[in-house]
Amino acid sequence: MDLNEFQDLFTKLTNFKKNQFHPLVWISGEPKIGDNVSIGFLSEINAKESQITIGNNCDIASFVAINCADSHKRCVGKQDEIERKEIIIENNVFIGSHSVIKGGAEIGHHSVIAAGTIVDGVKIPPYSLVHGNPAKVKDGYYLKT
Let me know if residue 49 belongs to a domain. Answer: yes
**Residue 78 — very low, low, confident or very high, per pLDDT cuts 50/70/90?**
confident
Q: How many CA atoms lie within 13 A of 80 on its CB side?
A: 0
Question: In terms of residue numbers, what domain contains 95?
Answer: 27-138
User: Can you give the CATH number for the domain in which 52 is found?
Assistant: 2.160.10.10
Is 145 a residue whose pLDDT tops 70?
no
The distance of Cα 18 from the centroid of its chain, to the nearest Å, equals 17
Let me know if residue 102 belongs to a domain. Answer: yes
Q: How large is the average pLDDT for residues 24-47?
A: 93
